[in-house]
Structure 1
């Protein structure tokens, strides 16, 4: 119903932003990532919006990029992930980092968000792993920003991603190739498994 709002930022409090368009003020719930991109009150702002309609309420969500909105919508498709949980995830991680974690099978990264326990994080990865990178240009292999690998940390998986990237693969391709590897595997075994999977995709 509402694709975007372009108008004057009236106020923002960290969780929401009020935007005046044509004399009407619209209150949008925003993530911490979007909040950090907002201009000063009184300046023009553009937010891509999503209208959530429930039996008891209608709530408008605003995003600084279409990529973040797409990630929000994909997250809310998962059973147990409502709009508030999706916003919490996107407040803890950027959209690129969420996509990278899901493609890599790194459910632990998602637990950084309040309200996301290990079981829910694993469900998110399970239900969305095949959707990211397939038919969504925003999250295709090679399109993720350089900041995305930050979610991988310095563990074996992160070292294996770095090793495959050094061989010429994109970090997203490397992460996807390692998505089926158990966290307990050694770096060497992860690299071998990743290379086998990548060679089959050639």
Structure 2
């Protein structure tokens, strides 16, 4: 229902902020990653939002980036993970770190987040595998734009994201796109 707010930042009280939109103040809960990047009070701000309606409340959650909001939405779909827990996860690690933990199936990284126990971490890894990690995990580990182009080329040739990412690991960080594609294809042919 409410997808984005643009207004003046009126109040900062972690994890909540107040955004004044032409005289109407919206209370928005944000992860700490968004909170730390907010402008000063009185400055203009834009937040992507997720609106939650419960029996006893209507809550608004805000995010600086679309990947943060998408990760939040994926997290709250999991049984036993509510909006507050999802905010805690996104406050404790970046979307890229979360995607890497999911791709590598590292429950230990998730357990370090306050409010996440071993069973919840394992459930997150199981239910988000292939959803969040596949979309966001591989680009985070890329050393350069050339590596991103090489990976896209390999995927276009029919290789999976995982195969492409594995082929990129031995490549030098400063490799060119055409040379990188040749080297990656040689590695995949073995």
TM range (shorter): 0.7 to 0.9
- What is the CA-CA distance between 1:24 and the residue it aligns to? 0.5
- Gap change, CA 1:22 and 1:145, over 3 Å in 2: farther
Q: Deviations over 1:102-144 (max 9, x none)?
A: 111011111121110011000000011121255x5xx2632x2
SS of 1:141's equivalent?
Answer: helix
Residue of structure 1 in register with 2:115 after alignment: 115
C-alpha distance 102-86 of structure 1, shift in aligned 2 (>3 A): same
Output the CA distance in 1 between the equivalents of 2:8 and 2:63. Answer: 15
> Per-residue displacement from partner, 1:161-189 (whole Å, max 9, x unpaired)?
xx98650399xxxxxxxxxxxxxxxxxxx
Report the TM-score, using the length of structure 2 for normalisation: 0.74
Q: CA deviation at 1:84?
A: 0.5
Aligned to 1:43: 43
Tell me what 2:157 maps to.
none
CA distance in structure 1 between the partners assigned to 2:13 and 2:95 by the alignment: 21
Structure 1 moving runs of 4+ over 3 Å:
163-166
TM-score norm. by structure 1 comes to 0.70
Answer yes or no: is the 8 Å Cα contact 2:10–2:41 preserved in 1: yes
- Match for residue 72 of structure 2? 72
Q: Is the 8 A contact 2:102 2:133 kept in 1?
A: no
> What is the alpha-carbon distance in structure 2 between the residues aligned to residue 63 and residue 52 of structure 1?
14
Aligned to 2:87: 87
How far residue 145 of structure 1 moved from its aligned partner, in angstroms, is: 6.4
Greater helix proportion:
2
Alignment of 1:151-170 (within 5 A): 166-168=169-171
* Structure 2 gaps, min length 5: 143-165, 174-186
Q: Which of 137, 141, 145 is residue 138 of structure 2 equivalent to?
A: 141
How large is the RMSD of aligned CA atoms in angstroms?
2.6
Which sections of structure 1, spanning at least 5 residues, go unmatched? 147-162, 171-197
Looking at structure 1, the residues matched to 76 and 29 of structure 2 have their Cα atoms a distance apart, in angstroms, of: 15
Cα distance in 2 for residues equivalent to 1:133 and 1:121: 14
> In 2, Cα distance between the equivalents of 1:169 and 1:25?
51
